[in-house]
Amino acid sequence: MYASENRIATSVLVIGTGGAGLRAAVELAERGVDVLAVGKRPKADAHTSLAAGGINAALATMDPEDTWQQHAADTLKESYLLANPETVRIVTEGAARGIEDLVRYGMPFARERDGRISQRFFGAHTFRRTSYAGDYTGLEIQRTLINRAAQLDVRVLDTVYITRILVHDNVVFGAYGFDLTDGSRYVIHADAVILAAGGHTRIWRRTSSRRDENTGDSFRLAVLAGCRIRDPELVQFHPSGLIAPENAAGTLVSEAARGEGGVLRNRLGERFMSRYDPERMELSTRDRVALAAYTEIKEGRGTPDGGVWLDVSHLPRETIMTRLPRVYQTLLELQMLDITKEPIEVAPTAHYSMGGVWVRPEDHGTDVDGLYAIGEAASGLHGANRLGGNSLIELLVFGRIVGRAAAEYSAGLGAQRRSAEALAAAREEVDELLSADGPENVRSLQRALRDIMTEHAGVVRDEGGLRKGLAELAAVEARISGMGVHPDIAGFQDLAHAFDLKSSALAARATIETAIERRETRGCHNRSDYPELDPALQVNLVWSGPGSVERESIPPIPAEIAALMREVSTVGKLVE
């Protein structure tokens, strides 16, 4: 054992300190179970804090006829029939309880004058069911959960990077990692592990994820532990990410900008949505608007820097300042641009991983005993297009359910067997990277990988491009072994970037290989060589390693829910 290794034991380890991880940790602490949460970035700066629009639950505070069954029908419809009906039922039926929990923890929801929680429309919802707190709902949820975790004395390690989940005979027994500041190692023994380390959208060049988050960590940790990945090719591209400045490329311009009356124009000044969805125009669904913008750019009608114009300057200044304050402030800070006078240059940006680790619907257990996955790390709810506002409620519903499941699993464990070999392998992996002194620069390899994914596996894909991307990815994978890793006085970020790169490479391969297999156009997945939806591909694609993609059938939709599924107008609503 190394002198610099910290050894910790806990009943349940939570990897990730965003909304999903903290909600699970709170559930465990409320049940009196010893829990430790670890994150590679400060919990106050988790990705959850970026979510602006709102959180869904059929509370019926505004529209009394709304029901969880209608919420389920809308979710399944928007998923292009790839969501798991049981997962959808659990989330939509448990959504009101999720909101109640937040209120109990002190969440400051917007309310009507009579005290009811306000709810607004998001596109493709039949009724008003999106609760919110200004245009910073995710930030308030994160703050609320941080406060509740502090009240319960939940242990949180903010600067620990987990490199391996420790498994013996397909049973989890903990995790291994290092401190980002001083490089000291952590051996964490745990009865159960909850993986809540986010998605993989950072592997594209333009993304709403910040630097060094959502690099596919969950995918790599899960696959090395013995799990599978479901539907990694299903990635939602948000229509309006900023192009400049380079260090903020992909930063979202809220879709409220279009919801409030913003218009999209190409380089020629044409309001191009009339070509793609003449009825709904800018209020069309997220996948269609992203595809339209991508097509305009690809066909040469884009702006000088390869985007389109989003213009709100025709709106009254008061509307912009009261309804879009965050957008106004962001553009002023990043570009010195006054959106009350000038249009914003935007382009589609990778936004949300709808696929993720394969889990059971009822408890989000994985293929490995004692290992669970939740939040954007998991799969099953969103299918081929995510209904706006559903991601935040998913965190709360499954955070509670998985916290309870992990508590029961830990309590029922007769004994725990550990593996010296698994621990040695995890330790050796870190040692090898720390001694790596090759000529390859980690950051340049990350950039090369993001370029491959953007060029060959972006908004629109085809067989030739995907196979070329796979060949180029193999070349990058080969170069990874020649990396140089150089921690310095500032800390061990370079080691973290090396692990990020390994995760991104695995996530990229899973994404491209399943994208090749899905020879159809469905929701967010656009194949120019297969422009039609193929009923035979109404299946989930499950990836278990290089070259291994299997089709998984989806359970039938209950008749009572199927009867409620219909096209939903987005007229007069905020889009997703």
Q: Which residues are known catalytic residues?
A: 238, 258
Q: Of 244, 254, 240, 257, which Cα lies nearest the Cα of 335?
A: 244
Structural element, H or E, at residue 411: helix 390-411
- Whether omega for the bond prior to residue 325 falls within 30 degrees of 0, making it cis, is no
Quickly list DSSP for 184-199: -EEEEEEEEEEE----
Q: Are 532 and 520 contacting, i.e. CB atoms less than 8 angstroms apart?
A: yes
Query: 3-state DSSP helix/strand/coil percent for the chain, to nearest 5?
Result: 40, 20, 40
Half-sphere exposure of 261 (CA within 13 A, CB side): 10
CA-to-CA separations, 529 to 287, 304, 463, 514, 532, in angstroms, rounded: 18, 28, 7, 15, 9
CA 430 to chain centre: 27
Q: What length is written for the chain?
A: 576
28-31 own/partner pairs: CB under 8 Å, 24+ apart: 28/403, 28/406, 28/407, 29/149, 29/152, 29/153, 29/154, 30/152, 31/403, 31/404, 31/407
369/350 Cα distance (integer angstroms): 32
CA-to-CA separations, 94 to 71, 195, 234, 382, in angstroms, rounded: 11, 21, 25, 16
What one-character DSSP code corresponds to residue 117? B
C-alpha angle 208/20/133, rounded to 5°? 65
User: Which amino acid makes up residue 23?
Assistant: R
User: Which amino acid makes up residue 426?
Assistant: A
Half-sphere exposure of 30 (CA within 13 A, CB side): 17
Structure tokens at 365: 């257990």
148/127 Cα distance (integer angstroms): 31
Q: Are 67 and 365 contacting, i.e. CB atoms less than 8 angstroms apart?
A: no
277/565 Cα distance (integer angstroms): 21
Which ranges constitute the DSSP H helices of 129-187? Answer: 137-151
Structure tokens at 181: 């500041």
Q: Are 230 and 355 contacting, i.e. CB atoms less than 8 angstroms apart?
A: yes
Distance between first and last Cα of the chain? 51
CA 299 to chain centre: 30
Counts for the chain of helices (H) and strands (E), in that order: 15, 19
What one-character DSSP code corresponds to residue 215? S
